[in-house]
Structure 1
Amino acid sequence: MSKDPLLQPYQLKHLTLKNRIMITSHEPAYPEDGMPKERYRAYHETRARAGVALTMTAGSAAVSRNSPPAFNNILAYKDEVVPWIRQLTDACHTHGCAVMIQLTHLGRRTGWNKGDWLPSVSSTMAQEPAHRFFPKLVEDWDIARIIEDYADAAERMKEGGMDGVELEAYGHLMDQFWSPATNQLDGPYGGGTLENRMRFSLEVIDAIRQRVGEDFILGIRFTADEAMQGGITAAEGLEIGRRLKETGQIDFLNVIRGHIDTDAALTDVIPVQGMRNAPHLDFAGRVRREIGLPTFHAAKIPDVATARHAIAEGLLDMVGMTRAHMADPLIVRKISERREEEIRPCVGATYCLDRIYQGGEALCIHNPATGRELTMPHELSPAAETKKVVVVGAGPAGMEAARVASERGHDVVVFEAAPDAGGQVRLTAQSERRREMISIIDWRMEQCIARNVKFSFNTYAETTDVTSENPDVVIVATGGLPHTDVLSEGNDLVVSAWDIIAGDVKPGRQVLVFDDAGDHAALQAAEMIAKTGAHVEIMTPDRSFSPEVMGMNLVPYMRALQDKDVRFTVTYRLKSAKRAGNRITAVIGTDYSGHTEERDFDQIVVNHATVPLDELYFDLKPRSKNLGAVNQEALIFGRPQSLEANPDGEFALFRIGDAVSARNTHAAIYDALRLVKDI
């Protein structure tokens, strides 16, 4: 047997877990009508098949109708959930993987204007800033009903074959009762004493245990330190842990440190890139040491070395690698086969979580098969016939195309105009806080080198360069160039956000950053400018700035900008620019009226995405078999391309990523995978 600490079995009550790696409860928002159907099952089964010991479903499966999901969560209050849960658990159990689910009542962390339009309830009437709604102060009859709802939901999960349930007590109703900051009740469930504040959760635990019996795992994911003024302190959190243990009904603790009622607080609980790894691991170890219950924990544990340390040093009994398994579901298999160097790294971009609020589903920034297991592969099969594939461009789209083609056994050549691979990702990684992004490129480069992909850097490929390789397939992934030609006049007076990020243009002293793309580039450029001590105004015609960045990724930018001379202006549009001596006059308007005004700056930076660098594609198009056309239905449903409009053509031709239109890193990589996987 392996001596690797991560691969040792763990006995949790009557349940034997085959190793120490787990996927903690999380909601990727894949349910359909509140049910975990085929897509949901495929997501968890893929990770079970690869060897993870325990997968926890449903970050926040709703136990009550007046706890409508904040996003697309599982509805555990419906009887119809049982057969869907059974299909999921049966699929995972086939691979020796235990399955649990997280049950919760959201309390004030939801709204009234969804689901059945019932008022949210809490132990406080105070608004939760993140969700902005005002709850009703919970009454005794609410409490009695919710306790019954918890027991009913747990019974459904047992009937569905789950090995256990985890109760959610961080930011939700249970710990809203616990926290002095959010318990305004009098009487047996309030009044200030910890005994009263814990009464509701202990009654829930007792009701569940009576319903499911002893041969069912019951744990709790709880905040052992809210890290906020007036909240649960570490000392009180440890006491809560002791009292939970004293019930004799709790089988494990899953440790959280922090509070989640604002974007900033949530980001400290679930750190993003640029923040340190495993910030709460030692605290979780303290909880394990002082309480003595089996202890789980996950918070930016992205790599095997950190996970191994957590187990080897006795800090945890089971280590959660949740976002890491979104990046690479095959982690355990690769550890077992001594292929750790092949693990696709989590880069901390947290596109997965932000994407839930932006687009309604969790997606990994650089593994487009995650959440698409029904149509996209995590493992590639060899091609029936070896082909010569030429890829032009070594940004994220081109590197993914080269990786996929080479893994399938094709002979691959890559042309790149720059001296290094990476494209816009390499520019993004110029920022110290976002340097982890370069792993998107480095990992693909390592995979390509291992499969003998030939790279020609410093080569601005032309038609003859491509055709001299006698390709069967040509993939144009040349990306785009910054688009600054957006003003009615004065376009020659502005620079792009990428000019600032790349260091090609020195920041000015009084700078307008006009952003109508709403992505990272504007904020990244503004941060670099502000760090020089300059005054920066970030302007957008939208009603909110940087809508593509989203909550958790916005937090580090705000922390970097708000203590500097930076102002944010919404609902105004830069119309034109004109020279005024050694300064530039910005003519500013609005989409809401005919109002205009003029203000002077010494630099104007425009972020208006990119325009495709597509000249080579159009030069090659007449010589291609498919005339560059894509069968969109085949692309969508993961089938091979079959268009051949030009019988005299020499090769199949496709373009991907920003060479088609300005999008993002995930879109570029997804383009490449779903196109090249069948070549």
Structure 2
Amino acid sequence: MTKEKFSHLFSPMKIGHMELKNRIMTSGHQTTLVENHLPTEDFAAYHTERAKGGVGLIVMEAHGVHKTGLNTPFAIDASHPEIIHLHKKTAENIHKHDGKLIAQLIHHGREAYVSEANNDVVAPSAVPTERFHIIPRELEEEEIEEIIDGFVQSALHLKEAGLDGVEFVGSHTYLFEQFWSPTVNKRTDQWGGSFENRMRFSREVITRVRKAVGDDYVLGMRMSLESQDDVGTSADSSLDVIRHLHELEKLNYWSLVIGSSATYKGSSYIVPPASESASQLFSKVKQVREIIGALPLILTSRIYTPDIAEQLLADQCADVVGMTRALIADPHLPNKLITDKGKQIIPCIACNQGCIGRYQQHLPIRCTVNPVTGREKYYADVPATARAKIVAVIGGGPSGMMAAITLKKQGHDVTLFEENDCLGGQLNILQGGLYREQVRQWRTYLINELERLNVQIEKGKRFTYAHLKRMKPNAVIVATGSKPLLPDDVDNTTISYYTSWDILNHTPVKEEDILVLDWKGDWPGVEAAEFLAVQGKNVEIVSQSYGIGEAVQQYKRNKLLERFDTLKVNQTPHFKLKAMKQDSILLEHIFSGRIEERKPEAIVLATGQDASEALEEYRRLKNLRCEVIRIGDAKSPRSLDEAVWEGFQAALNLSAEKEEEQING
């Protein structure tokens, strides 16, 4: 049934001499599983797991080709000879599972994270970059030749390592596109000026690499169909570039994305948030088809479900689909789909928190919804426990559900207690925001897993000593979460007040003039503000942070701030709540101490979370003659990815044999 429904997705195809078993691809994305600019064993394990899961084509992250193009301390250097034997093992692993392996080759040009080891940032011209606030050094002609040679040498290294091809990264206003763009390329020599000259760098790279690797090696070009800003390439200009390079007859495929690294606005589309859709992003793809004819075309961006992927293939918008974040969330998506286990697919929630968000902090890749991601070397195969235990998990939020699922998979006898009538905890709040359908899908997945694994669930009941007496558990996991933290003087005011949770639970708000008090700059405050603004309310959001949405991943924040401006949300950073008076709110500037007064009709409080009830629960239980563990917000309020990891980790720790049981707070 599945193969018939997804007949296009699971049909084989050829790209050059490379045969793919299906049309599912994981596109190039940075993992930070790198040391000294070379991939680690964790890196190899990460990609191997995706091949094991049935992915047809794996395109590994951007590999630098020259010392001036290593844009972070964790960029892979493909020009280093050591890359050959390191990638050889990865290629063997991928091929063992009938997958194909390609690596991206890149020079970032002026789009770089400056560090002590990388402070020589270069570009075609010394034009400042808006997003990174860098004024690059203009390349010398001999350096341009060095970089071209770097592409050639790197491609030869990757071919020797056994990879099936390389992909040039011409997207997102990196060096290829910096040469194309008349806005960035102000040169007057043979590398700038006319369109022909601005394309010279790309022509030389493609032509020389093709000559070096031969005709039987796959070469592809990734580019942004639209930059979505005024610096990168427009849609019409992109078509001219595609036409020009296609006429070289050196490339085996094109891979299209959207966005630009050069500006805040354009960067929002590098990893588009849930507010965007694939159909919106690739509205002009048919014009590309008219240029490249039968040459394979790959699309990547917001293709997060098999249904979306299948439709794009059926409509002939693409020949291969990049389902990157979906495969970060669940590397076994293809195999689960083909074996009619679609309900067991872990859905991506488009939070950008553990993937691109951690890359931007120079941290190893993780995934909010899958605690194994980035840790495949250690946890890809969680073994059954040597000694089954009876475990009570108190709290049916994401941390508690993850703990219960993991424990049950290991063979423990698990009972999950939830005092409310429905599972989900704060997911029930989060899913009430705009563009949060994928959160609802993940909540459904977790509940389905609990049911599939026959975890005993007791809802609408508070855990009591009677349960202890009946169960005689070996361990109790306290995952009772938190509740909104209210200011001490909240009862002083006669102004109507709501918590951000009330708003995202869709509590009716009759008042029109709303003040949102945001403590952290995270999702509860900003999403409550947007939810009210969409209803036509007059909203001001006051945030105790450097900027509105400071704690939200930057691509999501960029789009949010765009919508705030469109909705005319008044934005006031740098202020905190000073006092709540009878008919007014006093705000204090966090730097100068200046006081301002507001008299709204209603206030919305996003002023933190309170875990005091969880602390009471833990203290009530901690002296039991069994192991008692706190996880998630029950330990202290924390992020969603941290809570999920703690649930997983607690389950693993309980499965480890110990000489003595211990209290673990």
Q: TM-score, normalised by structure 1?
A: 0.88
User: How big is the shift at 1:315?
Assistant: 2.9
- Equivalent residues of 2:393, 2:478 under 8 A apart: yes
Aligned to 1:653: 628
Q: Which residue of 1 aligns with 2:622?
A: 621
Q: Equivalent residue for 1:639?
A: none
Report the counterpart of residue 634 of structure 1 in structure 2: none
Q: 1:390 to 1:289 in 2, by over 3 A?
A: farther
Structure 1: how far apart are the matches of 2:115 and 2:45? 31
How far apart are the structure 2 equivalents of 1:213 and 1:185? 32
Among 450, 458, 472, the residue aligned to 1:448: 450
1:344 shift after superposition: 1.0
CA distance in 2, matches of 1:281, 1:597: 47
Within the candidate set 175, 179, 182, 1:180 is matched to 182
Match of 1:588 in 2: 588
> Could you tell me which residue of structure 2 aligns to residue 646 of structure 1?
none
Tell me the CA shift for residue 69 of structure 1: 1.4
Residues 674, 507 of structure 1: alpha-carbon distance in 2 compared, 3 angstrom cutoff? farther
Structure 1 residue 282: deviation in Å? 5.7
Q: Shift of the alpha carbon at 1:144?
A: 1.7
Distance, in Å, in 1 between the alignment partners of 2:373 and 2:231 is 40
Residue 323 of structure 1 and its aligned partner are, at CA, apart by: 0.6
Alignment partners' CA distance in 2, 1:554 and 1:522: 12
Residue 404 (structure 1) aligned with residue 411 (structure 2): no
The letter of the residue matching 1:669 is V
The question of 1:530 aligning with 2:533 is answered yes
- Structure 1 residues 211-360: aligned runs within 5 Å: 211-228=212-229, 232-281=233-282, 283-284=284-285, 286-292=287-293, 293-351=295-353, 352-358=355-361, 360=363
Report the TM-score when normalising by structure 2. Answer: 0.90
Alpha-carbon distance in structure 1 between the residues aligned to 2:116 and 2:102: 27
CA contact (8 A) 1:330 1:343 kept: yes
Q: How many residues align?
A: 645
Is 1:558 matched up with 2:561?
yes
Correspondence for 1:462 among 453, 461, 464: 464
Counterpart of 2:520 in structure 1 is: 517
Which residue number corresponds to residue 388 of structure 1?
A: 390
CA deviation map 1:470-520 (0-9, x unaligned): 333322211011122367995997653223333457375444433332311
Equivalent in the alignment of 2:145: 144
Alignment of 1:370-381 (within 5 A): 370-377=373-380, 379-381=381-383
Once the two structures are superposed, the pairs formed by residues 426-437 of structure 1 within 5 Å of their partners are: 426-437=428-439
Shift of 1:662: 0.6
Change (3 A) 1:212 1:490: farther
Which shows bigger deviation, 659-668 or 563-572?
A: 563-572
Structure 1 segment 490-505 matched on structure 2, within 5 A: 495-504=498-507
Which AA in structure 1 matches 2:211?
Answer: Q
More off after superposition, 487-496 vs 310-319: 487-496
User: For the structure 1 residues 345 and 361, does the alpha-carbon distance in structure 2 shift closer, same or farther, using more than 3 Å as the test?
Assistant: same
Q: Does the residue aligned with 2:128 lie in a helix, a strand or coil? A: coil
Question: 2:65 touches 2:107 (CA, 8 Å); kept in 1?
Answer: yes
Residue 609 of structure 2: aligned partner:
610
User: Which residue of 350, 362, 367 maps to 2:365?
Assistant: 362
User: In structure 1, how many angstroms separate the alpha carbons of the residues matched to 2:146 and 2:594?
Assistant: 56
SS at match of 2:59: strand
Task: Give the CA deviation at 1:587.
Answer: 4.5
By how many angstroms is 1:52 displaced? Answer: 1.4
Report if aligned partners of 1:358, 1:550 keep a CA contact under 8 Å in 2. Answer: no
Q: Is the 8 A contact 2:120 2:137 kept in 1?
A: no
Rounded Cα–Cα distance in structure 1 between residues aligned with 2:530 and 2:108: 36
Q: Which runs of 5+ in 1 are unaligned?
A: 624-648
User: What is the rounded CA distance, in whole Å, between the counterparts of 1:466 and 1:544 in structure 2?
Assistant: 48
For the residues of structure 1 that align with 2:507 and 2:471, how far apart are their CA atoms? Answer: 34
Counterpart of 2:659 in structure 1 is: none
Q: Unmatched 5+ residue regions in structure 2?
A: 656-665
The one-letter code matched in structure 2 to 1:217 is: V
In structure 1, C-alpha distance between the alignment counterparts of 2:596 and 2:346, rounded to whole Å? 50
Inter-CA distance 2–495: structure 2 relative to 1 (3 Å threshold) = closer
Q: How many angstroms does 1:426 deviate by?
A: 0.9
Q: Is the CA contact (8 Å cut-off) linking 1:151 and 1:204 kept in structure 2?
A: yes
Deviation at 1:401, TM superposition (A): 1.6
Bigger shift: residues 12-21 or 246-255: 12-21
**Deviation at residue 237 of structure 1 after TM alignment:** 2.6
TM-superposed deviation, 1:270: 3.3
Greater shift in the superposed pair: 269-278 or 488-497: 488-497
Q: Secondary structure at the match of 2:334?
A: helix
Q: Which residue of 1 aligns with 2:66?
A: 64
- 3-state SS in 1 of match to 2:581: strand
Greater length-normalized contact order (CA 8 Å, ≥ 6 residues apart) = 2
Which SS does the other structure have where 1:128 is aligned? coil
Deviation string, structure 1 residues 329-350 (Cα, Å, up to 9, x no partner): 1112212322222111112222
Alignment of 1:539 with 2:542, yes or no, is: yes
In the alignment, the residues of structure 1 paired with residue 13 and residue 283 of structure 2 have an alpha-carbon distance, to the nearest angstrom, of: 21
- Cα 1:490–1:150 change in 2 (3 A) is farther
> SS at the partner of 1:268?
coil
Q: CA deviation at 1:48?
A: 1.2
Residues 651-674 of structure 1, C-alpha deviations (whole Å, 9 max, x = no match): 332221111111111111111112
Kindly state the Cα deviation for residue 288 of structure 1 after the two structures are TM-superposed. 3.5
C-alpha distance after superposition, 1:616-675 (max 9, x if no partner): 22212111xxxxxxxxxxxxxxxxxxxxxxxxx1x3322211111111111111111122
Q: Does 1:51 align with 2:54?
A: yes
How far apart in 1 are the matches of 2:89 and 2:494? Answer: 61
Q: 1:477 to 1:525 in 2, by over 3 A?
A: same
Give, as a single letter, the amino acid of the residue that structure 2 aligns with 1:608: T
Q: CA 1:538 to 1:176, structure 2 compared with 1: closer, same or farther past 3 Å?
A: same
Which position in structure 1 is the counterpart of 2:101? 99
Q: 1:334 to 1:53 in 2, by over 3 A?
A: same
Distance 1:449 1:277, change over 3 A: farther
- On the 8 A contact 1:422/1:438 being kept in 2, the answer is no
Contact 1:514 1:539 in 2 (8 A): yes
Aligned: 1:38 with 2:38: no
- Shift in Å at residue 121 of structure 1? 1.6
CA displacement at 1:458 relative to structure 2: 2.2
Report the Cα offset of residue 385 of structure 1.
4.2
Residue 173 of structure 1 deviates from its aligned partner by: 0.9
Distance 1:286 1:341 in 2: 36
Task: Give RMSD over aligned pairs.
Answer: 2.7
Q: Which amino acid aligns with 2:197?
A: N
Q: Distance in 2 between matches of 1:247 and 1:522?
A: 52
What do residues 62-111 of structure 1 show as CA deviations (whole Å, max 9, x unaligned)? 21222231463212233333332223223322322221111111112125
Alpha-carbon distance in structure 1 between the residues aligned to 2:232 and 2:55: 35
SS class of match (1:155): helix
Aligned to 2:170: 169
* Separation (CA, whole Å) in 1 of partners of 2:579 and 2:232: 51
d(CA) in 2 for partners of 1:227, 1:556: 12
2:644 aligns with 669
Q: Secondary structure at the match of 2:9?
A: helix
Farther-moved stretch of structure 1 (426-435 vs 531-540): 531-540
Separation of aligned partners in 2, 1:163 and 1:500: 52
Residue 274 and residue 259 in structure 1: after superposition, are their counterparts in 2 closer, same or farther (change >3 A)? same
